[in-house]
Amino acid sequence: MASLVLRYPWVSSPFVVSAPMKVMSGPALAVAVSRAGGLGFLGPGAKTQDTNDDLEKVKALIQKGKAIPTTNSALPIGVGYQLWTDDLGTAIATIEKYKPCAAWLYAPRQGTKDYDDWSSKIRRVSPETQIWIQIGTLKEAKQLLQSTELPDVIVVQGAESGGHGRTSDGMGLMSLFPEVADALASSRIPLFAAGGIADGRGVAAALCLGASGAVMGTRFLAASEARIRRGYQDEIVRASDGAASTTRTHLYNHLRGTFGWPEEYTPRTIWNKSFVEQQQGKSFEELKKLHDEAAKDGDNGWGPEGRLATYAGASVGLIHGVKDAEDIVRETQNDALERIQRLFPNQRDACL
């Protein structure tokens, strides 16, 4: 924890992170989370080059508002990349220019080899940028220990998570996290927990599992600063019972024209008519036609009668409204602290 406090001096305890959600975690969200005492990540752009434009906006937002205290020249927000599709050369040029405080790497084609390649190049151009790697299995965690470039932080992603996660070898955070923590104990690399955390209860639980902090993705889709369409955001608030209302499927990737994800990864999404009709046997061509028509129908394209992708995690039932990111961070932190205090009245810092 001490090294994290030095690296991210504006972050208050417990350490709350907004996940780098592709396109949807834009500059306004990332800066608002960091300004509130968390760590905000920019999601990968539709194209790798888009992160450049996002970081330009981040710089402007940081200069405009209340100062975020830092101890080095790194920008107080992180950036996310999907290694299977993002262009390394473009990413390196962007990181060299803007020096975000952290780069979050996910979904390589060639496991540790890709992580080492990206990490060494990032560290060469921007030693201030810490390397965060998200894994979803014990095997991946152990493989990271063989890296020539050990990450600074490892995010352990449970199967509850929204967006892409493990296709068939994922596991709930409650049992995955402690086993990974035991396997990596000697490395002393800080571990963060992700997947299904949407409020102070989840953060408190993650800390008691041994996490240095908690990552939330789906909760921040319902932040007023998220770069998300209203119809999609309404669905995040409306949906409940993540076990029943979400599923892992590549259907929506394919309907949107995204192919080529490594087979270990499949996204969790709230299902709607596209999925129901696929299960009933409708052809992909027909579903695609209906999907593309729905995409022209604005916010009506989402919802139980809609057809558009609604990537979200199993925690949707815990999200009851759209709030400013600052309120999400502060309320989550305060709630987690209160719960820990109630459990351990004489040991305030039991899990921190």
Ligand X SMILES: Cc1cc2nc3c(=O)[nH]c(=O)nc-3n(C[C@H](O)[C@H](O)[C@H](O)COP(=O)(O)O)c2cc1C
The residue ranges that bind ligand X (CB under 6 A) are 19-22, 24, 43-44, 80, 82, 104, 106, 134, 157, 160-163, 194-197, 215-218, 311-313, 315
Closer residue to ligand X in complex, CB, 4/203? 203
Closer residue to ligand X in complex, CB, 31/215? 215
Residues facing 15 on adjacent strands: 213
Residue 212 CB neighbours (<10 A)? 19
Closer residue to ligand X in complex, CB, 105/337? 105
In terms of Cβ atoms closer than 10 Å to its own Cβ (0-12, 13-18, 19+), residue 321 is exposed
Tokens of 336: 């987690």
Cα 103-255-20 angle, rounded to 5 deg: 15
Q: What's the min distance (Å) between Cβ of 31 and ligand X?
A: 18
CA–CA separation, 271 and 302 (whole Å): 10
Q: What's the min distance (Å) between Cβ of 65 and ligand X?
A: 25
Closer residue to ligand X in complex, CB, 100/163? 163
Q: What's the min distance (Å) between Cβ of 62 and ligand X?
A: 22
Q: What's the min distance (Å) between Cβ of 80 and ligand X?
A: 5
Q: How far from 84 is each of 55, 107, 163, CA to CA, in Å?
A: 22, 6, 15
**193 and 19 Cβ atoms separated by less than 8 Å:** no
8 contacts: CB under 8 Å, gap ≥ 6: 15, 39, 76, 101
State how beta strands 15-18 and 213-216 pair.
parallel
Closer residue to ligand X in complex, CB, 50/70? 50
Q: What's the min distance (Å) between Cβ of 30 and ligand X?
A: 13
CA–CA separation, 317 and 33 (whole Å): 22
Closer residue to ligand X in complex, CB, 37/44? 44
